[in-house]
Amino acid sequence: MDVLLEQQTWRFWDQSLSGKSRSALESFAADDLLCHVVGQGQSPATVRTWVHDQTVVMGIQDHRLPFVEEAQDFLRTRGYNPIVRNSGGLAVVLDEGVLNISIVLSEKENSIDIPTGYEVMLAFVQQLFPEAQGKIEAYEIVGSYCPGSYDLSIGGKKFAGISQRRLRQGIAVQVYLCVEGSGSERARLIQGFYEVGVQGEDTKFSYPSIKPEVMASLNELLQATFTVQDVVIRIQQLLHQRSEQVVSQSLMQEEAELYRFYLERVLKRNQKMLEG
C-alpha cells in the first residue's frame, strides 16, 4: 500500500470549500475525468477533496425501492437533495461535516486489484489520524448505512465508507469521512428514507436495517474538535511527506472539454434514473 501512496508527484485538487453549494454530480464527473487523465498518463496521481451541502447520494439499488418517489420526497422535506451515483453501494449522507476524499491512481503500467484499492485508502486514513493508531478497523458494520466489508470504524462504530470507480485504466478510490456532527443523526435520516421507501413490502434486494447507534463522527469517537478544513490540511501535509512534490492543480484548461463530456453523461444518467 505504501508503494502506491509514495508517488514522485501528487496532484492535489481541493474542492472542500468551492464545491459546497454545487451538485455532487459534478464531483462524480470530476472523478471520471481524473480516472481518464491519470489512467492515460496525462496527469500525475491525484488526491481530490470535496464537500457538498445537504445531499443524499443514492445507489442503484435504492432507486429500485418500492416507494422510491415517496422516499425522495421524504429527503427533500428534510432539506436534502437526492441524487443517484455512478458507482456501487447504497445511500450515504453528504453535508458540511462530511469530507470526501478521492485517491486516483493509474494501472496503465501495473494493475491494481479491488482489495488493493481499498487497502490503499485504509492506509491513507490510518496515516491521517495517528491519534487513532491501532484503533481504525475495516469490516462490515451491520446496521450502518451503505454497509460494506471496508466500513471504517473505531470501537465498532462506523465513521467512514469506501467505494471505487474504474475507468480508462484509472481508479478512483473514494471515502466519505464523517468528521464533524452526529453520525447517529445522519443514520436516522437514512433510516427514515428506507422506512418510507420500503413500507413493509417484500423486495428482492435486502435493504439495510439501520441502527443509528452504530454510526458516529470522528470527533465523537476521538473526543476531538476537528473541522473538515483541519483534515484537508493534514492531507496536504501527508502528501508532502509521501512525495517529492505536491502540485495544487484544479481543472486545467486542456481538461475542460473532457470534463464537460463526463458531466453531461453523469447528469443524463442521473436524470434518467430519477425519472425511471
- Least Cα distance to 72 among 62, 64, 59, 82 occurs for 82
| Overall average pLDDT of the 18-28 stretch | 92
pLDDT computed for residue 60 by the predictor = 87
> pLDDT (tens digit, 9 = 90+) per residue, 158-192?
999 999 999 999 999 999 999 999 999 999 999 99
**In degrees, to the nearest 5, what angle opens at C-alpha 53 toward C-alphas 211 and 25?**
95
Q: How confident is the model at residue 274 (pLDDT cuts 50, 70, 90)?
A: confident
Of 53-67, 75-89, 114-128, minimum mean pLDDT range: 75-89
The CATH class for the domain spanning 2-131+161-180+224-275 reads alpha beta
The whole-chain average pLDDT of the chain stands at 94
- Least Cα distance to 269 among 88, 131, 7, 84 occurs for 84
Q: Cα–Cα distance between 261 and 268 in angstroms, integer?
A: 11
Taken as a whole, the chain contains a residue count of 276
Judged against a pLDDT cut of 80, whether residue 150 lies above it is answered with yes
Q: How are beta strands 46-50 and 98-106 bridged, if at all?
A: antiparallel
Written as one letter, the residue type at 175 is: V
First to last CA, the chain: 40
Q: Is 178 a catalytic residue?
A: no
pLDDT computed for residue 85 by the predictor = 81
| Overall average pLDDT of the 10-24 stretch | 94
From the candidates 45, 121, 146, 187, give the one annotated as an active-site residue.
146
> pLDDT (tens digit, 9 = 90+) per residue, 100-149?
999 999 998 889 999 999 999 999 999 999 999 999 999 999 999 999 99
User: Cα dist. 152→118, 140, 155, 222, 242 in Å?
Assistant: 11, 8, 10, 14, 22
- Cell numbers for 143: 446496521
Q: Cα–Cα distance between 115 and 181 in angstroms, integer?
A: 30
Q: Which residues of 108-126 are buried (b: 16+ CB within 10 A; e: fewer)?
A: eeeebeeeebbbbbbebbb
pLDDT computed for residue 164 by the predictor = 92
Q: How are beta strands 55-58 and 81-84 bridged, if at all?
A: parallel
SS3 category, 46: strand
| Overall average pLDDT of the 234-252 stretch | 95
pLDDT computed for residue 87 by the predictor = 63
> pLDDT (tens digit, 9 = 90+) per residue, 206-223?
999 999 999 999 999 999
Q: How confident is the model at residue 86 (pLDDT cuts 50, 70, 90)?
A: low
Judged against a pLDDT cut of 80, whether residue 20 lies above it is answered with yes
pTM: 0.95
Of 59-63, 118-122, 213-217, 240-244, minimum mean pLDDT range: 59-63
Judged against a pLDDT cut of 90, whether residue 269 lies above it is answered with no
SS3 category, 217: coil
Strands of the sheet with 92-94, listed across from one edge: 81-84, 55-58, 92-94
pLDDT computed for residue 109 by the predictor = 86
> pLDDT (tens digit, 9 = 90+) per residue, 39-55?
999 999 999 999 999 99
